[in-house]
Amino acid sequence: MLEAGKKAADHWKRENEKAALDAKRAKAKELIAKSKAEEWAINPSVHFNQWANFSAYEFSGVVKAFRELLENLRCDNESCKSYVYVVPNKGTREAMRCNCGAININLKAHK
């Protein structure tokens, strides 16, 4: 979704927005790699064996990264803290936002 946001920012020539989304995307990539979130999602039967081979230390690193990844999907505003969601929830995606509006990423790259 951040990729879509970047494309939209690029389309509308919103350079600051694009740079901010770039940074967010880089951070998300790093956390996804560290948390092995993609492996969790791909094949549930594979990861059980892999987890069994992990030491407690390695596993705590994965858990920490996964928590951080989830935290990264939430609004920073202490009185909000909602997870981001896409609007509208049906049809063409227009924006990704939180409840308070502090996060409001445009996804629309056309008129």
For residues 54 and 62, the answer to whether their CB atoms sit within 8 Å is yes
CA distance 87 to 94: 6
Choice between 33 and 102, CB closer to Zn ion: 102
Q: How far is the CB of 9 from Zn ion (least distance, A)?
A: 20
Choice between 80 and 109, CB closer to Zn ion: 80
Binding site for Zn ion (CB under 5 A): 75, 77, 80, 98, 100, 102
Q: How far is the CB of 99 from Zn ion (least distance, A)?
A: 5
Tokens of 111: 């008129």
Choice between 17 and 82, CB closer to Zn ion: 82
- CA-nearest of 37, 26, 24, 22 to 84 is 24
Q: Residues 23-53, buried b or exposed e (16+ Cβ, 10 A)?
A: ebeeebeebbeebbbebeeeeeeeeeeeeee
Choice between 80 and 86, CB closer to Zn ion: 80
Q: How far is the CB of 80 from Zn ion (least distance, A)?
A: 3
Q: How far is the CB of 79 from Zn ion (least distance, A)?
A: 8
